[in-house]
Amino acid sequence: MFHRLLYPATVQGKVLHFALVAYLSISIIGCTATQPTVKPPTAIARAMETRTFQKDMKTILKAAINALQDMDYTINVLNSDVGLITASRTTEQQKSELASDEEEKGLSNFEKACIAVGVVFIVAMIYSMIFDDDGATGGGGRSGGGNSKDGPTGPRIYRYKVTVNLNDMDTENINVRVSASGEIEQDGKILSTGGVHEPEFFQQFFANINKALFLENQGQ
């Protein structure tokens, strides 16, 4: 009985069996997969991106530079007159998720992808089982020469750009706002672009500023 449930003999049984397997697989993926990063509302984004420090502009500017360098960023633009820093980093390791700057409506891209994968998987498995006997004979002609690939072959390159704006609220309070974006490239093609909205990135940046200020106070 158990063997017949796992390996149904009729076409209808095979269709139902693999439809059930596909449904369960997609359900598990939907429950366990990590949801993609999305752009938060403006108020939340500004709260993550902004901090106020009770120091003068020169001290905070220096601390922000040190914070970026501690995160392996290269300073590209430094304008102390307007309080602007831009920095960039290129790596083969993903450091932050990229999120679309468009607000999502209806189903998320993740949910749409799950539905699409489920439909394709079900159709493919049904087709495979129904016509499996026809393709089982005659065989070996497909196995040779399968080394050529049309897909990408090079490593993925992650490029991140950070912009830091410093505004003096008064003589002893500096408002610091940081924003970040990135792109993913492979074989000379841009795969995706988007903003960085992970709280961990901003927490690390401002923690590095506090560290730099502490070391400054210690004379290091």
User: pLDDT of 44-56, one tens digit each?
Assistant: 999 999 999 999 9
Which of the residue ranges 100-109, 143-152, 180-189 has the most confident prediction, judged by mean pLDDT? 180-189
- Three-state DSSP class for 190? strand
Dist CA 198 CA 164 (whole Å): 16
pLDDT band at residue 104 under the 50/70/90 scheme: very low
pLDDT for 146:
47
Average pLDDT over residues 24-37: 53
Q: Give the gyration radius of the chain's Cα atoms.
A: 26
Q: Comparing 6-20, 60-74, 155-169, 206-220, which segment has the lowest mean pLDDT?
A: 6-20
pLDDT for 32:
47
Dist CA 124 CA 126 (whole Å): 6
DSSP 47: H
Length of the chain: 220
pLDDT for 139:
47
Residue 156 vs residue 126, higher pLDDT: 156
Average pLDDT over residues 144-152: 57
Which of the residue ranges 90-99, 115-124, 144-153 has the most confident prediction, judged by mean pLDDT? 90-99
> Given a cut of 90, is residue 10 above it in pLDDT?
no
pLDDT for 112:
58
Residue 31 vs residue 7, higher pLDDT: 7
Average pLDDT over residues 68-77: 97
Residue 15 vs residue 217, higher pLDDT: 217
Which of these CATH numbers, 3.30.310.80, 2.60.40.1120, 3.30.420.40, 3.10.20.740, describes 7-134+152-217? 3.30.310.80
Identify the CA nearest to 53 among candidates 200, 218, 220, 208: 208
Whole-number mean pLDDT of the chain?
78
Dist CA 70 CA 213 (whole Å): 13
pLDDT band at residue 172 under the 50/70/90 scheme: confident
Measuring CA to CA, how many Å separate 63 from each of 72, 73, 83, 213, 218?
Answer: 14, 14, 12, 6, 13
